[in-house]
Structure 1
Amino acid sequence: MSAPNKYGLTERQTVILTVGFYMLTALVMVSVNKWALNTKPLSWTLLWLQMLIAVLLLRVTHMTGLLTMPKIQFEVARALVPLIAINVLGLGVNTLCLVYVDTSFYQIARGLVLPFTVIFAYVLLRQPSSLLVIIACFTVFCGFYTGVTSEINVSKIGVFFGIVSSVTTSLHAIVIKRSLPAVNHSSIDLVYYNNVLSLMATTPIIFLSGESAQIAYDLDMEGFASFHPFLIAAFVTGIFGFLVNLAGFMQISKTSPTTHMISGAVRGVLQTLLGYFAFNDVITAGRLFGIVLILSGGALYTYAKDKEMQAAPANKPTYIPMTQQDLDEEEGVGADLEANKVGKASP
């Protein structure tokens, strides 16, 4: 049994609390986002407010000495343009998907993350996949297809945004991997740059999308009081968006990639239950079966990758880098291999 840390918690208790914190913040984020969009369907404005609050909170941590934020440099910002583009697009389509689909169906609409991740890993990183991984991806696809085709009044545009969201999420880990060198592999610096630059990039979209005109119209017709629920929800989700970032990094640092994916699957189940009880979503048999298949495929993928890592612990990881820890471990293994080569070459 591990010794307690300075807070009197054992390693197991720390892991349980960390995973629980991540799941709680992520669930609150989705539910309050849905509530905000039900009051005012201003998806880009909601994102802008959330990122503004996140940047302000990051500045507070800097001023209080909890974290150190970098100074924005043009060269670094230019190198991070691909990351900002994929991040803004991903956040946008995520929120738009939530506008058009139920909370419980959100799990299905964005269900193709795993198949796209495996495809892009092969096409862009030349990482082949085992038969078991391919079966896992096919299971997930069957879940997506079952969930979508079983719905009578399914929102086609919601499903479209869900598919695009799956693509952007799949590409995100690869873009992060290529962006880390620009910030000297500092995760905190990358989070800060990502929020600041994404905030700047989102500002003109509010005007181009027509949301600024809609806001002006609603203010003129209904008054500022009509925005109170939306602003309260934006404030809450802004805080929880900041906490989700923090919780995600905490979970990745305290647990394995396998635990991270399992907690994501459990979160999907809780999200479905939340949609049923909080938003009165209708859980049809087809929707439920689709969610079960998607989660089963994710569990099978996790099992397959865990077996691969156990079979080849001394080699470079064969799993697809889906989290920050995955990327860091890849870099560390690469450095160890290079050091071994140098050592063998020395007399």
Structure 2
Amino acid sequence: MGDRAIAVKYFRIAGVVSAYWLISISLVFINNSLLSDKKRKLDAPLFITFFQCFVSYVLCIILSYVSEKLPSLFQFPKVNHDFTTLKALMPLSGFFVAMVTFNNLCLKHVGVAFYTVSRSLTTVFNVIFTFLVLRQTTSVPAITCCGIIVAGFLLGVNQEGHMGSLSAFGVTCGVLASATLSMYSIYTKKMLPLVGDSVSLLTFYNNVNAVILFLPLVIVFGEVPVIYNFPFLTDPVFWSLMLVSGVFGFLIGYVTMLQIQVTSPLTHNVSGTAKACTQT
């Protein structure tokens, strides 16, 4: 590979990582407005994520149709509801839905500070699962760093216990959120060949499955009455914000998979952790 090709490769990686940071931070503020706004607060995080997945699904269909009619404008692969592919990608979607669910439960039962500590375990799980699933080894310095992360996590648990704010359920959800996020990243890399390494197709199929999986969870976690009694259910401003969140949900889903594709699951999680620190 020549110097020019290497420069182009790293420039592309830098662009993808920058896009991930920008879109991710923007989506956090949009979701914060939906979940924490004093006037239009909707305490139904799973429904909001379900809606974002549905908007992403619709956008994929629209982009595929426009690309087919106007191929000179831009390229987007033709999408179809292939049951075999949907079934094969269900584990990936399952990890995605589990990640979001455990993430919300962790935030609900522990403080924001400890939430960040518990989510740092993602890097540790990534090293473990990368070896178990992808059969890729990790360097000794990286393993040493994982040991430091685990020590920090145990220290955080100890301090939460001393302050009397330790929630065993919240800690468990935080650990499971980290584990499922790690598996989601790894399975994204593993499943890309099933769709011809097309991030666009993987985004489409993942959102189809996610819509199906989130629907019963919205019911089980009691969000239907919350939605039904929401006073701004017919407010155009609220739905405009929901639509914007859906567009950004599509963008973050796409750029997340793209970042994993051009780097690695471990690099993606390190990028996400660094982004979270900067954002905080």
Matched, 1:244 2:242: no
Aligned-partner Cα distance in 1 for 2:86–2:57: 16
Q: Distance in 2 between matches of 1:262 and 1:86?
A: 19
Which of these residues, 107, 114, 124, is aligned with residue 115 of structure 1?
124
Alignment partner of 1:268 out of 245, 265, 276? 276
CA contact 1:54–1:195 (8 Å) conserved in 2: yes
Residue segments in structure 1 that go unaligned for 5+ positions in a row: 4-9, 273-347
- Equivalents in 2 of 1:74, 1:157: separation in Å? 36
Aligned match of 1:208 in 209, 214, 220?
220
Letter in 1 for 2:210: S
Cα distance per residue 1:52-86 (max 9 Å; x no partner): 11112222221221412421112222222222222
**Correspondences of 1:166-315 after superposition (within 5 Å):** 166-216=178-228, 218-219=229-230, 222=231, 224=233, 231=239, 233-251=241-259, 260=268, 263-272=271-280
Deviating more after overlay: 36-45 vs 186-195: 36-45
1:149 alignment partner in structure 2: 158
Separation in 2 of the partners of 1:99 and 1:119?
A: 27
**In the alignment, structure 1 residue 131 sits paired with structure 2 residue 140:** yes
TM, length-normalised to structure 2 = 0.77
Deviation at 1:147, TM superposition (A): 2.9
Correspondence list, 1:26-37, <5 A: 26-37=24-35
* Preserved CA contact (<8 Å) 1:46 1:234: yes
Distance 1:205 1:12, change over 3 A: closer
For residues 173 and 119 of structure 1, the distance between their equivalents in structure 2, rounded to whole angstroms, comes to 13
User: Would the alpha carbon gap of residues 186 and 112 (structure 1) be closer, same or farther in structure 2, given more than 3 Å must change?
Assistant: same
Task: Indicate the SS of the match to 2:79.
Answer: coil
TM-score, structure 1 normalization: 0.64
Offset at residue 127 of structure 1 (A): 4.5
Give the conservation status (yes or no) of the 8 Å contact 2:123–2:266.
no
Is residue 80 from structure 1 mapped to residue 89 from structure 2 by the alignment?
A: yes
Structure 2 unmatched ranges of 5 or more: 68-74
Find the counterpart in structure 1 of residue 72 from structure 2.
none
What's the RMSD between the two structures over aligned residues?
3.4
Alpha-carbon shift at residue 247 of structure 1 (Å): 2.8
Structure 1: how far apart are the matches of 2:267 and 2:184? Answer: 20
Summarize the Cα distance change of 1:251–1:130 in structure 2 as closer, same or farther, 3 Å threshold.
closer
- Closer, same or farther: CA 192–271 of 1 in aligned 2, 3 Å: same
**Greater radius of gyration (CA):** 1
- Name the SS for the 1:40 alignment partner: coil
Equivalences, count: 264
Instruction: Pick from 97, 103, 107 the counterpart of residue 106 of structure 2.
Output: 97
Q: Which has the bigger relative contact order, CA under 8 A and spacing at least 6?
A: 2
Q: 1: CA distance between counterparts of 2:9 and 2:189?
A: 29
Q: CA deviation at 1:206?
A: 1.6
Tell me if 1:48 matches 2:50: yes
TM-fit CA distance, 1:203: 1.5
* Cα distance in 1 for residues equivalent to 2:50 and 2:32: 16
The one-letter code of the counterpart of 2:279 is Q
